[in-house]
Amino acid sequence: MSLCSSIFYKRLTYLMLSATASTVLLLSGCSDSSDAQADTEVAATDLSVFAGCYTVSQDEPAQIKISQQEGAWVMQMKEPASAKRVWDEPEALEVIKNSDIPQFFSIDPDNVDAVIGRPDRVLVLAHVKPAYANIDPLLDSEYLSYIYRGANTIYRVECDDINTDILANPHANVIIDNVNESS
């Protein structure tokens, strides 16, 4: 091997090492860690979409109240008519990362803009992006609820301070005729 070719290969090796090192530095500088992205996602979440009252059926009075008290988000459940108050004691809520959405709902996390829930995860609420709620025929509300192992839509309704008996049997006065009875 001649001296010229030896110098050429040596310079080519340095050039290749330099290019590889530059590419690695460029790529590592551009990539985001998932933890940093999740922290930013949680910090940027607008929880004000949850402020208000909710019920599981559009024609029922409010049953759950979400509000911000002393800088923290809390939930309250409506008390039965026999109680001396309308709403129970506030319970703390916390932001839930979008990456945790599949544990509670069968919806693409990209279609949800905020998730909040109790620390024990007995209650989790999600706000679906309005554009997605309008095109998904299975959603008739922008809000999803996960209440003790079951997911369903939940409806935002006007808050009220009327004490109602939400523990009463809603079917107590329903009369069902036997459809097989001949006349």
140, amino acid identity: D
- Confidence category of residue 21, pLDDT binned at 50, 70, 90: very low
Q: At residue 51, does pLDDT exceed 50?
A: yes
Helices of type H across the chain: 3-30, 34-43, 130-135
Q: At residue 135, does pLDDT exceed 80?
A: yes
Give the pLDDT of residue 117.
95
DSSP bridge pairs for 53: 65, 157
**Do 96 and 127 contact (CB within 8 A), yes or no?**
no
Residue 48: partners with Cβ closer than 8 Å, 6 or more residues away? 68
Q: At residue 174, does pLDDT exceed 50?
A: no
For the chain, the C-alpha Rg in angstroms (whole number) is 28
Give the pLDDT of residue 104.
93
Q: What is the mean pLDDT of residues 82-103?
A: 91
The residue with greater pLDDT, 48 or 164, is 48
Give the pLDDT of residue 37.
45
Q: What is the mean pLDDT of residues 23-33?
A: 46
Task: Tell me the three state secondary structure of residue 76.
Answer: strand
- Min mean pLDDT across 81-95, 119-133, 153-167 is at 153-167
% of the chain with per-residue pLDDT over 90: 38
